[in-house]
Amino acid sequence: MTKQELLQTARETLEANWRAPGFSVPSGRLYPFQWNWDSGFTSIGNAHINPQRALREMETLFTGQWANGMVPHIIFHSEKETTYFPNFDFWDTTVNAGAPQRPKTSGITQPAVHGFVLEHLLNTFPDDAATIATVKALFPRVVNSHRFLYIYRDPEREGLMFMYHPWETGRDNSPLWDASMDRIVIDKGTLPAYTRQDTKIAAADERPTADQYDRYVHQLELGKRNGYDGPGIFAESEILIQDTLMNALLIKSNASLIRIGQRFGFDVGELEEWQQQSTRAFQQKLWHEELQTFVPYDVRAGAQIAEREIGSFTALSAGIASDKQAKILNDYLQSLHDRGFYLCPSFDPDSPHFDSRRYWRGPIWPHMNWLIHDGLKNYGFGKMAEVVRNDAIHLIREFGFYEYFDCQKNTAPDLTQGYGGDQFSWTAACLIDLIET
């Protein structure tokens, strides 16, 4: 496929995934609604081909925002679509008076990408009236979504937000969460009956296991019992983790909002306070001295989660890493590259938990390459940034517009396609941005 053909397929993918009232499904069959952070990356790609849609996507996402500021991880724009579990009725967000009646939503959130996405759109079209108007209108809403995280997810005012459901991190079944997932005692008698839909569409060995799914449902029920924002979540949940990626992207978005606010003369005092505290806490609490990488902190266990995985590298894109730390992260990526891996595996290939096919336990996700490419460039590691960019483009060209890809070059000769869902929006969008910039 030539570069032009590749771009054309990416455009067609985004076109095919566009839906009323103005958003992109991540992948028509597997994920038939609007997903929070997917929409952010899709906007970045759409900015090159259909700027109006890029803005619209963000506006539509925020129609699902709750009164407490939370932007849910799924917005169920269609109530007739029943091929997904857990659907809106299972989430039952009526337990929180501030959840919108319509559109229906889930009850948890996802990484805070919106601040940096808005800045990206503004930088792409700095003088465009429609872009300026949308960014100005969404600015207070995005700030409010950060306020939600600082109020409800940081009860001890440390500057680091916690997650209590792995789906919030965007890295659903990463081995990072295994230990806290294992602490949950499942009582089959109280767990509501449910039927998974994902394994009807994608291969079961590329998806989370049945035991993991029971625990996801258990955490959903815990959230629901607590109105999805009550203090009981912090008090009761076995999963309470200050994640690298979630906090890094919050910090990255804070920085973007501060710059946007300064440009338009908005008050950024609160943002600056959050930012100072968060950057300091991230450095102090999430750098693992022995592993020489950033790791999440398990609040319930009172310990760092000592694993090498992809979230660490988002500290580069957020500008949190010192030059020395950035060089260490760059050298680690270089060593994986030298050993014949495509970049960037989502989990440490040397770990016993590594699984090259299963979702977030090893495979490569193109939007993560987008973030890491951005981060490496920020720190002047142009050579490695090019490898990360070219590997993403190569994998998509060879194996199609899939959700994720094998990172082992030696298994690649037997492979004919990527993993998970096909015709994937953020795969197409990130490809366009990686090629065009």
- Given the rule CB under 6 A, which residues bind ligand GLC? 26, 31, 35, 37-38, 170, 172
Nearer to ligand GLC, 170 or 223 (CB): 170
Q: Are 109 and 65 in contact (CB under 8 A)?
A: no
Task: Determine which one of 128, 158, 172, 398 is catalytic.
Answer: 172
Q: Are 215 and 184 in contact (CB under 8 A)?
A: yes
Smallest separation, CB 324 to ligand GLC (Å)? 30
* Residue 187 is a catalytic residue: no
Token duo for residue 353:
């938990």
Smallest separation, CB 411 to ligand GLC (Å)? 22
- Which candidate, 66, 76, 69, places its Cα nearest to that of 98? 66
Nearer to ligand GLC, 162 or 404 (CB): 404
Smallest separation, CB 420 to ligand GLC (Å)? 8
Smallest separation, CB 35 to ligand GLC (Å)? 4
Dihedrals phi, psi of 163, to nearest 5 degrees? -110, 155
358 Cβ contact partners less than 8 Å away, ≥ 6 residues apart: 173, 205, 206, 207, 208
Nearer to ligand GLC, 38 or 206 (CB): 38
Smallest separation, CB 172 to ligand GLC (Å)? 4
Backbone dihedral region for residue 168 (phi beyond 0: left; psi -120 to 50: alpha; all else: beta)? alpha
Nearer to ligand GLC, 38 or 309 (CB): 38
Q: Are 308 and 351 in contact (CB under 8 A)?
A: yes
Smallest separation, CB 60 to ligand GLC (Å)? 16
- Other C-beta atoms closer than 10 Å to the C-beta of 408 total 17
Nearer to ligand GLC, 9 or 36 (CB): 36
Task: Determine which one of 403, 406, 422, 433 is catalytic.
Answer: 403
Q: Are 113 and 245 in contact (CB under 8 A)?
A: no
* Residue 403 is a catalytic residue: yes
Smallest separation, CB 9 to ligand GLC (Å)? 19
Dihedrals phi, psi of 241, to nearest 5 degrees? -135, 135
Smallest separation, CB 38 to ligand GLC (Å)? 5
- Other C-beta atoms closer than 10 Å to the C-beta of 156 total 9
Nearer to ligand GLC, 170 or 418 (CB): 170
Smallest separation, CB 428 to ligand GLC (Å)? 12
Nearer to ligand GLC, 17 or 325 (CB): 17
Rounded distance between C-alpha atoms, residue 226 and residue 377, angstroms: 42
Residues designated catalytic: 172, 403
